[in-house]
Amino acid sequence: MVLCVMFFLSPKVSAQKFLMPKTAIVQRAGSIGYNSFGVGYNLFKNKKGSLDLAWGYVPKSKGGRQDIFAAKFAYRPLSIKLSDFAVLNLANPGLFVTHHPGGKFHTTLNKDQYPAGYYWWSSAVRFHISASTEIKINAPKMLLKTGVEQVALYGELNTNELYAVSWFKNRENLPLLDIFKLGFGLKVYF
């Protein structure tokens, strides 16, 4: 407990600065809802890693109302400077977990309803691997006054453990491309 208090009172690290998000995110599709919104944090001193927290939803008209929460980690090992104002982050590997709350989804299955080992997965939690590409553009001078440093567009391809196992057990009948989902998004860096 003393270490926590010392950490937050340290002159070099303020809790307020540490907890402030560095990005705002809007994403369409990509296994975290029809539309999703979130915030992100830079990881590592070189800012090559990020942790994004998002809430997504599927509207009733698109298959039934559903909420999805996601925690996403991505690493950007390769940055290519395109010009003085644009950078391309190519082939960014990532991992993320999603949670589907609500009565239709369960982290554990009813043992009275299903025999042991009948289902090995949770209907509420999915573990994903992803790869993304992002182009960052330095904000115009008029946006810098608002605190916006960069704006980025990205595309992300992902799959989860259930899809991967289903493909592995059914390779003859399930095309590999069918287990991947694609999402597109916009990030605003502060």
CA-CA distance, 2 to 18, in Å (whole number)? Answer: 18
Determine the length of the chain. 190
| Band of pLDDT at residue 5, cut at 50, 70 and 90 | very low
pLDDT at 2: 45
Burial of 16 (0-12, 13-18, 19+ CB in 10 A): exposed
Query: Residue holding tokens 């590409």?
Result: 133
Domain spans, the chain:
15-189
Tokens of 52: 């994004």
Query: Residue holding tokens 């980025």?
Result: 152
The β-bridge relationship of strands 35-43 and 49-58 is antiparallel
Nearest in space to 161 (alpha carbons), one of 124, 117, 126: 126
Q: Is the dihedral of CA 172, 177, 124, 66 positive or negative?
A: negative
pLDDT at 139: 83
The β-bridge relationship of strands 66-75 and 35-43 is unpaired
Per DSSP, helices labelled H in the chain are 2-9, 15-19, 141-144, 161-169
pLDDT tens, residue by residue, 62-106: 888 899 999 999 999 999 999 888 999 999 999 999 999 987 777
**For residue 4, pLDDT beyond 60:** no
Domain range 15-189, CATH architecture: Beta Barrel (2.40)
Tokens of 164: 């991967």
pLDDT at 3: 45
Q: Are 158 and 123 in contact (CB under 8 A)?
A: no
Read off the pLDDT of each residue in 163-175 and give the average, rounded to a whole number.
Answer: 93
Other CB atoms within a 10 A radius of the CB of residue 87 amount to 18
Q: How would you label 107-145 residue by residue, b for 16+ Cβ within 10 Å and e otherwise?
A: eeeeeeeeeeeeeeebeeebebebbbebbbebbeeeeee
pLDDT tens, residue by residue, 107-159: 666 666 767 766 777 788 999 999 999 999 998 777 777 888 999 999 999 99
